[in-house]
Amino acid sequence: METPDEHSDRRGVEAIIEQTGTDIEEGRYPLAITNNPELYRLELRRIFGRAWVYLGHVSEFQEPGDYARRYIGEDPFILTRDEAGELHAFLDSCMHRGAQFCTAESGNTSHFRCPYHGWTYKNDGSLQGMPHMREAYQDLDEDEISLEEACLDTYQGLVFGRIAEEGPSLAEYLGDFTWYLDVLFGTTEAGMTMVGEPHRWESKHDWKTSADNFSGDSYHVLTTHQAGLETENLARGPWEELTDFPGASYLACTERHSVGYYLSEDDETFMGYPDAIADYLNPALTPEQRELFGRSVFHFGTVFPNMSLIHGIQSGGWGGPWACIRKWNPRGPGVTETTSWWFVPREFAGDDAFLADSHRGWESLSPGGAFESDDLTIWEGIADSSGAVTHELRGTRGNMQQGMGAMTDEVETVEDPLHGPAEVTSKGLYFDERNSRTILRAWCGMMRGGTEAETGTGDGSESEADPDPGSEAGVDA
Ligand code: FES
Ligand code: FE
């Protein structure tokens, strides 16, 4: 039973969610949505309980028994390949008393044995047995007991999991964004492979802040990373034209996901990969996707809710090219555990000189690297200030108006086959916040938690109703 205070808190956050849905159409949003404990609890149920959430890459789980701990929201899952070669994601909670049965971050095992009373499960989730089974459980139907399992599906080797048993397929959830994922993770015939172990670190920022930043905030580079620009670490090589990139460079968003591309005029750039990359290209790419990859210097984006990606050259002696997936694991209100994976095209996985260069690129964007500390300082400050009572009581609004008609009369749609299925506007790489608005619309669509009729399905255009990928899930928040 809710206490009067809890009831009032819940009514308060529902009002903030509704206000966000209204504000975002004017390019504003309540700052109180960040680092808000009441909203955070709803996010875990309404977003992470229903969305397809990135869990890992198939290259991490090549052998039967390979496993790793991964999270959907705050729920701990064990992603593993069983003896028959199938991938599963099991909730790390024993079916006897709920104890965690996996104490390592990753490894290889055919069975998981609970440390509390010894119940043992095969890596397909079925119950293998328990101590004193004959004496203690004479009538037990073992076939009825198996671990709780998330829905799983993959695209271009990316493994996604979903807690809700019903809902849109992964293909429906990703929608038109698969066109861009093909260029990001399906460019060579053998595909991408992870190298080493993913890095993890915790910081006091809201998961939404970093998902928004990677969705398309090139604008911040000019200020947050000013030191890097002034020392020319970012200004060499393909970055020389940072402030005057070719017009084809763009930001784009589909229904709920977003991407950005820095492009050169040279269609043999290939992000700085060795020349042999041209021989390894995936024949399944369309001519437009091939040209887009050929001219690419840098890619970034966010798959809602909490997977971001970055791929490209890190010049100025920082190494590269490299590809990285970031996952922003919520670990409490205003606390995020970041997981960072390093990927290379499988064709180059045995090239030590390339790997050394690529690794330096990946490292430069880590807590010990040149740029991460710039961002973390800012993001933690956002969480600290946005949790202010002042913002909640006064309804303070933040701003996301770049690229909206109210800001300029010069925004127009730019047609180019390299843009893929999404709409791209003339405000382009630096001065359009449509990607941020898209992420926030997706947040609203799921946080409203209503029926499909109430929230609409949306097509990502600025004027449409909010997308609600969880509307079919049947999960009552
Ligand atoms: Fe796992 Fe008892 S809680 S065996
Ligand atoms: Fe940054």
Q: Tell me, what DSSP letter sits at residue 428?
A: T
Torsion sign across C-alpha atoms 284, 290, 294, 295: negative
| Residue 251 CB less than 6 A away from ligand 1 | no
Q: Which ligand 1 atom sits nearest the alpha carbon of residue 99?
A: 3
Cis peptide before 305 (omega within 30 of 0): yes
How does residue 24 score in pLDDT terms, banded at 50, 70 and 90?
very high
Query: In CATH terms, are 53-155 and 173-455 the same topology?
Result: no
Mind giving me the DSSP string for 215-258? HH-GGGHHHHTHHHHHTTTTTSGGGGGGGG--TT-EEEE-SS-E
pLDDT at 247 over 70: no
Question: Which band of pLDDT confidence, cut at 50, 70 and 90, is reported for residue 320?
Answer: confident
Residue type, 122: K
- Compute the average pLDDT of residues 177-184: 96
Q: Does 132 sit in the ligand 1 pocket, CB within 6 Å?
A: no
Q: Which has more pLDDT, 460 or 269?
A: 269
Give the pair of three-digit tokens for residue 337. Answer: 């555990």
The residue-averaged pLDDT of 377-403 equals: 93
What is the average per-residue pLDDT within 120-127?
98
Q: Three-state SS for 95?
A: coil
User: Tell me, what's the pLDDT at 406?
Assistant: 67
pLDDT at 371: 80
Fold category of 173-455 in CATH:
Naphthalene 1,2-dioxygenase Alpha Subunit; Chain A, domain 1 (3.90.380)
Q: How many angstroms does the Cα of residue 294 sit away from the middle of ligand 1?
A: 54
Q: What is the percent of the chain where pLDDT is above 70?
A: 86
Note the pLDDT of residue 5. 62
Confidence of residue 273 (pLDDT cuts 50, 70, 90): very high
Mutate to test the pocket of ligand 1, among 93, 97, 133 (most ligand atoms within 8 A of CB): 97
pLDDT at site 240: 52
pLDDT at 208 exceeding the cut of 80:
yes
Arch. (CATH architecture) of 53-155: 3-layer Sandwich (2.102)
What is the number of the ligand closest to the CA of 98? Answer: 1
Phi/psi of residue 382, each to 5°?
A: -65, -45
CA of 99 to the centre of ligand 1 (A): 6
- Going by pLDDT thresholds of 50, 70 and 90, the confidence category of residue 476 is very low
Q: Mean of the pLDDT values across residues 112-126?
A: 98
Cα(376) to ligand 2 centroid in Å equals 9
pLDDT value at 232 more than 90: no
Assigned token pair, 460: 């990502």
Question: 114 CB less than 6 Å from ligand 1?
Answer: yes
Mutational pocket test of ligand 1: of 100, 116, 130, 148, the residue with most ligand atoms within 8 Å of the beta carbon? 116
pLDDT at 219 over 90: no
Confidence of residue 473 (pLDDT cuts 50, 70, 90): very low
Query: What integer pLDDT is reported at residue 173 of this predicted model?
Result: 97
Binding site membership of 112 for ligand 1 (Cβ less than 6 Å):
no
Q: How far is the CA of 375 from the centre of ligand 2 (A)?
A: 5
Q: How far apart are CA 114 and CA 94, in angstroms?
A: 7
Express each pLDDT in 99-116 by its tens digit: 999 999 999 999 999 999
d(CA 470, ligand 1 centre) in Å? 33
Q: How confident is the model at residue 7 (pLDDT cuts 50, 70, 90)?
A: low
Pocket test for ligand 1, best of 91, 94, 121 (most atoms within 8 A of CB): 94
How confident is the model over 85-98, as pLDDT tens digits? 999 999 999 999 99
Q: What is the pLDDT of residue 10?
A: 64
Give pLDDT tens digits for 156-178.
Answer: 999 999 999 999 999 999 999 99
Q: What is the pLDDT of residue 432?
A: 85
Amino acid 461: pLDDT? 45
Residue with more model confidence, 471 or 63: 63
CA distances from 410 to 413, 430, 432, 459 (A): 10, 14, 12, 23
Q: Look up residue 142 and give its DSSP letter.
A: G
Mean of pLDDT values over 323-344: 97
pLDDT of residue 442 exceeding 90, the answer is yes
More confident residue, 459 or 265: 265
Please report, for residues 58, 158, 178, 186, 281, the alpha-carbon distance to residue 191 in angstroms, rounded to integers and kept in the order given: 11, 11, 15, 5, 9
119, 142, 148: which to mutate for ligand 1, most atoms within 8 A of CB?
Answer: 119
Domain positions in the chain are: 53-155, 173-455
Q: Is the C-beta atom of 147 inside 6 A of ligand 1?
A: no
Cα dihedral 452, 454, 459, 465 in deg (nearest 10): -170
Structure confidence at residue 234 (pLDDT)? 55
Q: How many CA atoms lie within 13 A of 58 on its CB side?
A: 15
The rounded radius of gyration (Å) of the Cα atoms in the chain is 23
pLDDT above 60 for 470: no
pTM comes to 0.91
